[in-house]
Amino acid sequence: MTIDIITVHPPLLESPFSHSILKRAVEKKLVEVNVIDLRDYGIDRHKQVDDYAFGGGAGMVMMIEPIMNCINDLKAKRRYDEIIYMTPDGETLKQKHCNHFSTLENIIVLCGHYKGIDERLREHVITKEISIGDYVLSGGELPAAVMCDAIIRLIPGVLGDETSALTDSFQDNLLSPPVYTRPADYNGWKVPDILLSGHAKNIEEWRHQQSLERTKLRRPDLL
Ligand code: SAH
């Protein structure tokens, strides 16, 4: 899978892909992440990428031309399944989006800034609009990193234990059961006996029961 991320602040996207699981995914070539500096497509000497809003009002708007030139350049190299714009008024990112995106070949992720991008881009070239929640951040870079992390960890081979992504919260609309590790007794705080029983089938049933109860209690909307 190739993920091309368009941004005016490339350094904001360096760290998320240079550590831990995402770093290994890139090294193993399970995903290629390219961070493209929109400034390279800026207009004139000043490499301008934004301008005042028609009709007035505070805040700059990202211009069509630099973004179109950048996207057209990318499209000359590969065919894209989705061109995703990160925006607070998009569809709220859910596990089902991530599952779907992780099966795609090539995607572009566009990070907005200032007041956002010229609406005509949203009408004509953006194929999907995604929000990471009902709050406003100053730019699309952190939302893009959040979404890409959630996608990349689902690509086969990225997580060490292939099944582990399937037992995470939200797959099957259930929250994860509680987990424990050594010591089995920390100053009287004990691990549930069943987990020490060695009885795989009972443990599996217990975990499923815990998942159900936790979901009923915390997120009944999922059931
Ligand atoms: N004026 C816009 C907010 C712009 S915030 C509005 O009120 O809807 C600047 C940029 O940050 C956006 O273009 C978007 O790319 C990004 N952004 C901010 N909050 C976001 C969120 N919750 N989800 C996804 N992207 C977000």
pLDDT of residue 118: 98
pLDDT of residue 162: 61
How remote is the CA of residue 31 from the centroid of ligand 1, in Å?
26
134 lines ligand 1 (CB under 6 A): no
How remote is the CA of residue 188 from the centroid of ligand 1, in Å?
47
For residue 5, with 0-12 CB atoms within 10 Å meaning exposed, 13-18 middle and 19 or more buried, which class applies? buried
Per-residue pLDDT reduced to its tens digit, 101-111? 999 999 999 99
With residue 64 as reference, give the H or E element that holds it. Answer: helix 64-77
Q: Which of 130, 146, 117 is nearest to 84 (CA)?
A: 130
135 lines ligand 1 (CB under 6 A): yes
Q: How far is it, in rounded angstroms, from Cα 12 to Cα 139?
A: 10
At which residue do the structure tokens 């995402």 appear?
A: 22
Q: How far is it, in rounded angstroms, from Cα 212 to Cα 223?
A: 9
Q: How far is it, in rounded angstroms, from Cα 132 to Cα 97?
A: 11
pLDDT less than 70: residues of the chain? 162-163
At which residue do the structure tokens 């992504």 appear?
A: 165
54 lines ligand 1 (CB under 6 A): no
pLDDT of residue 186: 98
- Closest-CA residue, ligand 1 atom 16, reads 140
How remote is the CA of residue 214 from the centroid of ligand 1, in Å?
32
Domains and CATH numbers, the chain: 2-152 (3.40.1280.10), 167-222 (1.10.1270.20)
Token couple for 185: 């007794």
DSSP string, 71-83: HHHHHHH---SEE
Ligand 1 atom at minimum distance from 115 CA: 1
Could you list the beta-strand ranges (E) of 148-207: 185-186, 189-190
